[in-house]
Amino acid sequence: MSARVLIIENDPDIITISHATLTEAGFEVDVATNVGDALAACERSTPDLALVDIRLGMRATGWEFIRAVLKSGNWPSMHLAVFSVHAEEDEYLAEAEALGIGAVVTKNGDPRILLHEVRRLLN
């Protein structure tokens, strides 16, 4: 059975590219563009990995999704990874570390890097 990845992202083009890359590599891929949809997706089918963009526009941020997941304790097996163009920045690293998430995936558009990181996190 293939691993399930939830992409939480509000940029439709990034969704298209990431979805195509991961689907082609054999992953089951769910997509959510906001925190509410992301939590609903988790309820429907627990992902093995959630790639969480931080700047989701409007009022919510990806940090809120991560906090909600950690607080609920409903999905202990789900891996969480920050997925952002700023992932390597100190501010993001510090926040991720504070929340107990060691994984950050830099969103630079390279499908090979995305695949490599997703496989590494799932293994």
Partner 1 sequence: MFPLVMSLGLVVALGAIGLVASAGANRTAQDIHQADRLTLQRTLGGLANQYFLFVAKDALDYAADQRWSLTVDDPADRARLRTFVEHSPVLSHGAALVSLTGAPLNSFARDPGLPAANDPGYQPLRALLLRRELGLSSVMRVEGVSVVALAVPVMDGDTPGALFVGFFRADTGALQTYNERLRYGKTGRAYLVDSAGGIVASSRRAEVGGRYDAAAVLERLRDEHDGFMTFARGSVRYIASYASVGVGGWGAITEQTEAEFFGRIASGGRTVMLALLALLIVAAGTVAVLNHKRQLALRKAYEYKGQLLANTTHELKTPLTAIRGSAMTLGMRWREMKPQQVDQFLSIIHRRCDALGKLIERILMGARLEAGREIMIAPEPIDVRGALRAIAAEFSEATTHHTIVVDAPDGLIVEVDPDAMDQILGLLVENAIKYSPEGGEIRIGAEGAPDEMVTVRVSDPGVGISAEDRGHVFEPYFKGSRGDGQHFAGVGLGLAIARHLVCLHGGDIHVSSQSGVGTLFSFTLPRGRAMAPDPAVAEVTT
When the beta carbons of 74 and 116 are compared against partner 1, the nearer one is 116
Tell me how far, at minimum, the Cβ of 76 lies from partner 1, in Å.
27
Q: Are 6 and 42 in contact (CB under 8 A)?
A: yes
When the beta carbons of 78 and 95 are compared against partner 1, the nearer one is 95
The site for partner 1 (CB under 8 A) is made up of 11-14, 16-18, 20-21, 24, 33-34, 55, 57-59, 61, 85-86, 107-112
Largest CA distance in the chain: 37
Reduce the DSSP state of residue 58 to 3 states and report it: coil
When the beta carbons of 10 and 46 are compared against partner 1, the nearer one is 10
Contacts of residue 22, Cβ cutoff 8 Å, sequence gap at least 6: 5, 7, 29, 114, 115, 118
When the beta carbons of 74 and 119 are compared against partner 1, the nearer one is 119
Tell me how far, at minimum, the Cβ of 110 lies from partner 1, in Å.
6
Q: How far apart are CA 7 and CA 53, in angstroms?
A: 8
